[in-house]
Amino acid sequence: MLIPKKAKHRKWHKLRRRGLGVATRLTSVAFGSFGLLAITEGWVSSRQIEAARRVLTRYVKRGGKIFIRIFPDRPVTKKGNEVPMGGGKGSPDHYVCTIRPGTVMFEMEGVTAKDAKVALIAAGHKLPVKVKFVEKK
- CATH (domain of 124): 3.90.1170.10
Mean pLDDT, the chain, integer: 93
Tell me the percentage of the chain whose pLDDT exceeds 70: 98
Please give the residue range of the domain that contains residue 59: 34-77+93-135
Domain tally for the chain? 1
Classify residue 48: in a domain, yes or no.
yes
What is the distance between the alpha carbons of residues 95 and 93, in angstroms, rounded to a whole number? 7
Classify residue 87: in a domain, yes or no.
no
- Better-scored residue on pLDDT, 11 or 20: 11
Which 3 state secondary structure label does DSSP give 14?
coil
Tell me the percentage of the chain whose pLDDT exceeds 90: 84
Residue 112 carries which side chain, given as an amino acid letter? T
Provide, for the chain, the percentages of residues in helix, strand and coil under a 3-state DSSP scheme, each rounded to the nearest 5: 20, 30, 55
Classify residue 11: in a domain, yes or no.
no
Classify residue 122: in a domain, yes or no.
yes
Classify residue 83: in a domain, yes or no.
no
Classify residue 20: in a domain, yes or no.
no
Pairing assessment for the beta strands 34-38 and 42-45 based on DSSP bridges: unpaired
Classify residue 53: in a domain, yes or no.
yes
